[in-house]
A and B are shown apart, each in its own frame.
Chain A
Amino acid sequence: MNGSQRIPILKVGRVLVVPVQVDMDDQTVIGLQERILSELERTGARGVLIDISLLEMVDSFIGRMLSDIAAMARIMDARTVVVGIQPAVAITLVELGLELRGVDTVLNVDEGIKLLRAEFGAYGADDDEDDEFQGEWHSFGESRHHA
């Protein structure tokens, strides 16, 4: 049995969202990597958001998996964003000598979606009205309105 089945891979728009909420053994890590790649192929998603904000530890094995997924997904024309690395985990990774080069990292899912949207419009080509700059001008107009 593959332990990685416990970790859901959700498709939201053109993005695969992967919330990792359990401590993974090495087989689970390898299984997850394979499942993400085959889901990318099956769905044609353009981005992968891996949320590890609940992970209390990232060792070199998991770190390497994150780098590998990013590199492999890039070949499949998808961008990988790792979300929510905790302060203690970040410091430990640096001391361990892992800098996760080539992996985009963001604070939270919001920032991740924003990043992917800037890249290709995370929810598909047909929702351009949700564009970030429109949003900015909108609030600008409103504050003026109140003045």
Chain B
Amino acid sequence: MESRAITLESEHDIVVARGEVRAMAVALGFRLIDQTRLATVASELARNIVKYAGRGQVIAQPARHADGREGLRLIFEDSGGGIPNIEAAMRDGFSTGRGLGQGLPGSRRLAHEFEIESSAERGTRVTVVRWI
């Protein structure tokens, strides 16, 4: 299966992103509950980009675990101003914008792997993986 890159610059793109991610999860054979988890992660992290960085993209790519399991990797990238305090942003209930502050910590709980790099110069990149 091919990787897909989805541009994120408007609110409508959030809907497109979660729809595309769900479709890929279905094609990869994820169960309904995992499809829902992945679509939700996509929605949360895509919204973060549209809201805080203005624009960016998400790359969805099939992945393979060392133990042979298949999975889906989602990479969210933007070149916005970065997250000044990642530790605080990863705490439940922390938010600088008009959200509930569940986006980052919630997405971490919905994924098996979660990685975040952020700097004021290079923007933010969040990588999540969920295995089947």
Binding site for B on A (CB under 8 A): 23-27, 56-61, 63-64, 87-89, 91-92, 95-98
Cβ B12 vs Cβ A25 within 8 A: yes
Chain A residue at minimum C-beta to C-beta distance from B102: A60
B9 sits at the interface (CB 8 A):
no
- Could you tell me the distance in whole angstroms from the C-beta of B130 to the nearest C-beta in chain A? 12
Residues of B within 8 A of A64 (CB): 99-100
A64-B43 Cα distance, complex, nearest whole Å: 14
B109 sits at the interface (CB 8 A):
yes
26 contacts between A and B (CB under 8 A): A23-B19, A25-B15, A27-B11, A56-B22, A56-B35, A56-B39, A57-B18, A57-B39, A57-B43, A59-B40, A60-B100, A60-B103, A61-B47, A61-B99, A88-B35, A89-B36, A91-B33, A91-B36, A92-B33, A92-B36, A92-B37, A95-B109, A95-B110, A96-B44, A96-B109, A97-B92
Binding site for A on B (CB under 8 A): 11-12, 14-15, 18-19, 22, 32-33, 35-37, 39-40, 43-44, 47, 92, 99-100, 102-103, 105-107, 109-110
A88-B36 Cα distance, complex, nearest whole Å: 6
Q: Provide the main secondary structure of the chain B interface.
A: helix
Cβ B36 vs Cβ A95 within 8 A: no
A23-B20 Cα distance, complex, nearest whole Å: 13
Residues of B within 8 A of A61 (CB): 43, 47, 99
A125-B102 Cα distance, complex, nearest whole Å: 42
Residues of A within 8 A of B22 (CB): 56-57
A26-B92 Cα distance, complex, nearest whole Å: 22
Cβ A96 vs Cβ B106 within 8 A: yes
- Could you tell me the distance in whole angstroms from the C-beta of A38 to the nearest C-beta in chain B? 21
Known contacts A26-B47, A57-B18, A87-B33: does B40 contact A92 (CB below 8 Å)?
yes
